[in-house]
Amino acid sequence: MVDTDFTTPHGKIRIVGHYARKENKFVESAIYPANIAVQGSTTNDVIPSDGVKPPMGYVALEDGPLQFRPDDMRTAFNVNDAVGIISGGGFALFCPSGLAAKTIAAKDDPLLSWSGGQHIPGFWLAGKLAVKIPFSKNTSETQTIRLPPGAIVRDVVADVVTAVSGATINVGTLSTDSGDADGFLVNESCAVAGIVAHNNVDGTAANNTLGDLLVESDIKSADTTSLYYSVPKPYVVPAGGKILTYSTSDHAITGFILVILESPGVVQMGKAADPADARTAAADLKVETI
């Protein structure tokens, strides 16, 4: 039985509550009801959120200009249509296909703005919001989401749910797209459930688990038995973005990849009112806005 506070609406997207502000804008590229909107080429135009620009709010359906309203919530507005943009928090929305593919949202998960007008689940880690991506046993490089260009990746952390002795995970960017498949995490242990701390100091540099994309250099100590310290650095996602990938050892492990990143276009919009599973395709989503 689904634990829910809200009933799915029919013929509208606003479930309950009142928005603080509404303004009318013009559609510059196809956009759907309940999409997160960002400014287009002028201050009067809107496009779907891209994970780069700051979000303006949500595209209204029943609260927008009547003459441009599509027949149903899964039909896009046309270019040059006038649309209402609602914002301010304190209301709940039904967002068709509003959760980005390759993700899972638990009830009350923070929901962050993402590309395609969609949301991505978040996770609070050490006072910072991370993007939350599920993983399971996959011994070959497995594609997940595309990191937005210009985003600053501060850290990548494994949160192990199902642990197996000797299990490990690699996380990086798609190798066939000039990427580094273990550029974020190299053989990070998944032997114990919970948040995994990096191995940043070892007698063998290759045993350190922070990947090259997040390491400035390895410093060798002057001890009789030398130690190698991997000095961390942020990674700036290049133009065009990069696909986040992972691979695991041959063990039946599960968990989440937590990507701590900073971008004006990736901010918390609300929280999940219900669970939603988008591992195979974008999923419908109920959002309690903030």
Pairwise CA distance, residues 7 & 62, whole Å? 17
State the pLDDT confidence band at 110, using cuts at 50, 70 and 90.
very high
Pairwise CA distance, residues 226 & 213, whole Å? 24
pLDDT at position 96, please?
97
Interval 150-188: pLDDT, tens: 999 999 999 999 999 999 999 999 999 999 999 999 999
> In the predicted model, is pLDDT for residue 102 greater than 80?
yes
Q: Which range, of 1-10, 16-25, 133-142, 267-276, averages the lowest pLDDT?
A: 1-10
State the pLDDT confidence band at 2, using cuts at 50, 70 and 90.
very low
pLDDT at position 3, please?
47
Q: According to DSSP H, which parts of 83-220 are helical? A: none
Average pLDDT, the chain: 94
> In the predicted model, is pLDDT for residue 86 greater than 60?
yes
CA atoms within 13 A on the CB side of 290: 13
Per-residue pLDDT averaged across 232-256, rounded?
98
Per-residue pLDDT averaged across 38-62, rounded?
97
pLDDT at position 183, please?
98
Q: What are phi and psi of 43, to 5 degrees?
A: -70, -15
Per-residue pLDDT averaged across 17-23, rounded?
91
The DSSP-derived string for the chain is: ----SSPPPSS-SEEEE--SEEEEEEESS-B-TT-EEEE-SSTTEEEE-BSSSPP-EEE-STTS-GGG--SSTTSPBPTT-EEEEEESSSEEEEEEEEE-TTEEE-TT-EEEE-BTT-EEEEEEETTEEEEEEEEE--SS-EEEEEEPTT-EEEEEEEEEEE--TT-EEEEEE-GGGT--TTSSEEEEE-SSSEEPPP--EESSGGG--B-GGGEEEEEEP-SSS--EEEEE--EEPPTT-EEEEEEE-SS--EEEEEEEEE-TT--EEEEESS-EEESSS-EEEEEEE-
pLDDT at position 81, please?
97
More confidently predicted of 224 and 72: 72
**Domain spans, the chain:** 14-93, 99-289
Per-residue pLDDT averaged across 245-264, rounded?
98
Interval 192-219: pLDDT, tens: 999 999 999 988 888 999 999 999 998 8
